[in-house]
Amino acid sequence: MEEKTIKSIAPVSLALMMGIISAVIALIVGLIYAGVFSAILSSISNQISTALPISTAFGGALVVLIPIFATIGGFIGGFIQGLIIAVLYNFLAPRIGGIKIRVE
């Protein structure tokens, strides 16, 4: 096996990959939160009959909006994090040594 060292990382490439991975994770978590919140609002609206139309509309909006905003926020956060990590890696790798990987 041959050992190679990663000398630098393309910041935009890593940022896009981390943004997409973060967006997928945020979408899954957002769907779980939307389900939980809609169930809570549904049980509350059954107990308070006057709030039924408002909480039903609000719960429906939550089911749609939470996953969307979570996905967008996850992508933006992951993208920024990927950029920062790549820039720091490219700055530190020549001084400390890069990540060594084994390839065949």
- The pLDDT tens digits for 15-45 are 999 999 999 999 999 999 888 877 777 777 6
Where do the structural domains in the chain lie, given as residue ranges? Answer: 2-103
Q: 22 with 73: CB under 8 angstroms?
A: no
Could you give the CA distance from residue 3 to residue 101 in angstroms, rounded to a whole number? 6
Instruction: Record the tokens describing residue 35, joined without a space.
Output: 């389900």
Mean pLDDT in residue range 34-61? 68
Could you give the CA distance from residue 17 to residue 23 in angstroms, rounded to a whole number? 10
Terminal C-alpha separation, the chain = 5
What's this model's pTM, rounded to 2 decimal places? 0.79
Q: Which residues of 41-57 are buried (b: 16+ CB within 10 A; e: fewer)?
A: beeebeeeeeeeeebee
3-state helix, strand, coil in the chain (%, to 5): 80, 10, 10
Q: What is the pLDDT of residues 61-88, one digit of tens each?
A: 777 888 999 999 999 999 999 999 999 9
